[in-house]
Structure 1
Amino acid sequence: MRLSIVAVGQRVPDWARTAWEDYAKRFPPELKVELKAVKTEPRGSKAVQTLQAAERERIEAALARGVHRVALDEHGTRLSTQALAARLRDWQLSGDDVALIIGGPDGLDPALLQSAHERIRLSDMTLPHALVRVLLIEQLYRAWSVNAGHPYHRE
Structure 2
Amino acid sequence: MNITVLAVGTKMPQWVDQAVAEYSKRFGRDIQFRLKEIKPEKRGSGVNAAQGMAAEEERIMAAIPPQSFLIVLDERGKAPTSMELADWLSKWQQQGENLCFVIGGADGMTEELKAKARLLMRLSSLTLPHGMVRVMLTEQLYRAQSILHNHPYHRE
Same fold (TM over 0.5): yes
Aligned counterparts, 1:46-57, within 5 A: 46-57=47-58
Partner of 1:139: 140
Aligned-residue offset at 1:47: 2.2
Aligned-residue offset at 1:64: 1.3
TM-score, normalised by the number of residues in structure 2: 0.97
In the TM superposition, structure 1's runs of 4+ consecutive aligned residues that sit over 2 Å from their partners are none
Q: Please tell me the residue identity of whatever aligns with 2:58.
A: E
2: CA distance, partners of 1:23 / 1:65: 25
Question: What are the Cα deviations for residues 58-106 of structure 1, in whole angstroms up to 9, with x where unaligned?
Answer: 0011101211100000000011000100111111111121101100001
Aligned counterparts, 1:91-130, within 5 A: 91-130=92-131
Consecutive unaligned residues of structure 1, counting only runs of 5 or more, are none
Q: Please tell me the residue identity of whatever aligns with 1:66.
A: Q
SS in 1 for 2:6: strand
Partner of 1:70: 71
2: CA distance, partners of 1:94 / 1:42: 39
Partner of 2:89: 88
Question: What are the Cα deviations for residues 13-62 of structure 1, in whole angstroms up to 9, with x where unaligned?
Answer: 00000101100100011212100111011111522211111000000111
Partner of 1:11: 11
2: CA distance, partners of 1:51 / 1:63: 19
Q: Please tell me the residue identity of whatever aligns with 2:11.
A: R
SS in 2 for 1:58: helix
- Percent pairwise identity: 43
1: CA distance, partners of 2:97 / 2:149: 20
Partner of 2:26: 26
Consecutive unaligned residues of structure 2, counting only runs of 5 or more, are none
